Amino acid sequence: MQTATPALEVEPTALPDARGHFGPYGGMYVPETLMTPLFELTEAYHAARRDPAFEAELQEYLREFAGRPTNLYFAERLTEHCGGAQIYFKREDLLHTGAHKINNAIGQALLARRMGKQRIIAETGAGQHGIATAAICAKLGLECVIYMGEEDMRRQSLNVFRMRLCGAEVRGVSAGQKTLKEAVNEAMRDWVTNVRHTHYIIGSALGSHPFPMMVRDFHRVIGEEARRQMLEKTGSLPNEVAACVGGGSNAIGLFFAFLQDPEVTLTGVEAGGRKIARGQHAARFSGGRLGVLQGAKTWILQDDDGQIEATHSVSAGLDYAAVGPEHAYYRDCGRIGFGHATDAEALQAFQDLCSIEGIVPALETAHGIAYTMQRAREMDSNQIFLANLSGRGDKDVQEAARVLNQPL
């Protein structure tokens, strides 16, 4: 798919407003007990970002601990295989802990320490945010508790052990579907109870303000690096940029630097699951509607009575009923288009990238790769396609083998 790219009426850095709104989306839909802590967090965040000492420390940790900058990689053999556009990957999979999630985890952990919070909680689906949070907590000497649905613990068992190795307590959640939504619920309950000494590091660009803003800002380094590297390597900007979208952290981190380049098409790829039918997918823009979930107004998979519908994806990190409010806003603006990839398409892309480029992508990332391969075939050989390789797939090998009925 290709999106229209009208000029933006509002400067991207002017959003969100003081109450966290991106147009009609976002906001602060939380219990009264959290309003004061959220205002305090917002004030502390803005103060930190104005402090040169905080920025210097953040950059040092991103460089020395996380491993930034990451490579811009020309996928030569995949380009030949697809026979169309030149395919480039932003290699966030090469970061410490294996995904882009470490960018935000470092930023929020440093902020929590600055605020005097010694206890960190987080939710995780695929485990990549969980291991990133556990790792930086170990580095900073902070107590760490991770909430994770029991179904996700089963299919991401490698990351569960990694989190525990880093000293985190992993608390399984047995309610509901036992996946990411339920993990967020339990983390929110913990935070409401322990907010005075605990900071909640939300892992995606969703939830109440200021979290979508903070997560976006800590991930903007992805797109800023990629835009600069693309100009250095090719002398031009890409024709299209794509990334998988669950909550949307890796996507908004990559897209933000290109929002004011109308010649660059931006595409988010959601989880199409088994098929686009109720309870069979997690593509919010293919069956969702406007609603409020876990602190923010956005597009949500829900029934006529406002009850959250069951979701499904082969990838734990995309298996979530809501999308980040900033994505909903830019979809309305016509600036970001959205498609989806099915489980089968993602699994095929997972195998293709392994066999053609020798890169094992996360199953979340594989959804974006599936779209990348499809779209590149439709483009000319002088055009450039940039995709975010947001995470590596070591964590998914066992689950992929099970789903594909292949022996380990």
Q: Give the class (CATH, top level) of 69-98+212-403.
A: alpha beta
> What mean pLDDT, rounded, does the chain reach?
96
Is residue 5's pLDDT more than 80?
A: no
pLDDT for residue 299: 98
SS (H, E, C) 181-213: HHHHHHHHHHHHHHCCCEEECCCCCCCCCCHHH
Tokens 């000293």 belong to 167
Looking at the DSSP bridge assignments, the partners of residue 170 are 146
pLDDT in tens, 61-70: 999 999 999 9
Q: Are 131 and 97 in contact (CB under 8 A)?
A: yes
Instruction: Report the share of the chain in percent with pLDDT over 70.
Output: 99
pLDDT for residue 161: 97
Q: Which amino acid does the sequence have at 250?
A: N
pLDDT in tens, 281-297: 999 999 999 999 999 99
Number of Cβ within 10 Å of residue 84's Cβ equals: 18
pLDDT for residue 63: 98
Output phi, psi for 174, to 5 deg. Answer: -100, 0
pLDDT for residue 408: 83
Nearest to 272 by CA among 314, 316, 301: 314
Number of Cβ within 10 Å of residue 303's Cβ equals: 10
pLDDT for residue 24: 98
Give mean pLDDT, residues 233-240: 98
CA 146 to CA 252: how far, in whole Å? 24
Q: Per-residue confidence at 7, pLDDT binned at 50, 70, 90?
A: confident
Q: Where in the chain is the domain with CATH 3.40.50.1100?
A: 31-63+101-209, 69-98+212-403
CA 196 to CA 332: how far, in whole Å? 37
Nearest to 122 by CA among 202, 40, 19, 227: 202
Q: Give the class (CATH, top level) of 31-63+101-209.
A: alpha beta
Q: Are 371 and 265 in contact (CB under 8 A)?
A: no
The sheet carrying 384-388 orders its strands as 72-74, 86-90, 384-388, 240-244, 265-273, 336-342
pLDDT for residue 343: 98
Instruction: Name the residues annotated as catalytic.
Output: 101, 123, 390
Q: Per-residue confidence at 387, pLDDT binned at 50, 70, 90?
A: very high
pLDDT for residue 3: 45
CA dist 6 → 157, 265, 344 (Å): 44, 11, 34
Q: pTM of the entire structure?
A: 0.97
CA 37 to CA 390: how far, in whole Å? 31
Is residue 71's pLDDT more than 90?
A: yes
Containing 129, the helix (H) or strand (E) segment is helix 128-140
pLDDT in tens, 111-148: 999 999 999 999 999 999 999 999 999 999 999 999 99
pLDDT for residue 6: 73
pLDDT for residue 1: 47
Task: Spell out the long-range contacts of 226-233 with Cβ–Cβ below 8 A and sequence spacing 24 or more.
Answer: 226/72, 226/90, 226/254, 226/257, 226/386, 227/257, 227/258, 229/69, 229/72, 230/72, 230/88, 230/384, 230/386, 233/72, 233/74, 233/88
pLDDT in tens, 365-378: 999 999 999 999 99
pLDDT for residue 9: 87
CA 169 to CA 404: how far, in whole Å? 32
How far is C-alpha 272 from the chain's CA centre? Answer: 17
Q: How long a stretch of residues is the chain?
A: 408
CA angle 271, 312, 183 (to 5 degrees): 105
DSSP state of 66: I
pLDDT for residue 271: 98
Is residue 37's pLDDT more than 70?
A: yes
Q: Are 323 and 206 in contact (CB under 8 A)?
A: yes
CA 333 to CA 112: how far, in whole Å? 34
Looking at the DSSP bridge assignments, the partners of residue 388 are 90
